[in-house]
């Protein structure tokens, strides 16, 4: 996990292994910074939503802003409104893709909104 990151997960991969003698390791798992867990000291990421976000990656979900363009596939879920950028804070009525239907999905766990919502 990168220094300063709240968490990271590998996208689960089938049959990706490395071996050392008779031990087989799978390229699979999550690392969550304990400071982002419920009760942690950070005021905007201490409700555990980082763990939910990272587990979403482990289950194969992408960010809602995957290519930073309004016409991209986002998280590949058809009913997620288009968004062209990650969210910081909790900006109500954010609309980064004004020519597309729907407001930015700031409450979607696969965005970067603060835990504050």
- The total of other beta-carbon atoms located within 10 Å of residue 36's CB is 23
Read off the tokens for 84: 């062209």
Q: Name the residue among 45, 80, 49, 79 with its Cα closest to residue 63.
A: 80
Q: Which of 14, 27, 54, 85 is catalytic?
A: 54
Read off the tokens for 71: 């016409």
Tell me the C-alpha to C-alpha distance, in Å, between residue 46 and each of 38, 43, 57. 5, 6, 19
Among this protein's residues, is 54 annotated catalytic?
Answer: yes
List the catalytic residues.
Answer: 54
């Amino acid at each position: 996990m990168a220094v300063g990151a709240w968490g990271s997960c590998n996208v689960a991969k089938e049959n990706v292994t490395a071996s050392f003698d008779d031990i087989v390791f799978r390229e699979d798992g999550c690392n969550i910074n304990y400071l982002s867990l419920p009760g942690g000291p950070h005021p905007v990421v201490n409700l555990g939503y980082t763990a939910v976000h990272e587990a979403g990656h482990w289950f194969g979900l992408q960010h809602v802003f995957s290519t930073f363009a309004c016409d991209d596939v986002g998280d590949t879920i058809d009913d997620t409104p288009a968004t062209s950028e990650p969210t910081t804070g909790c900006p109500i009525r954010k609309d980064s893709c004004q020519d597309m239907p729907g407001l930015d999905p700031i409450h979607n766990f696969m965005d970067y909104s603060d835990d504050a919502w």
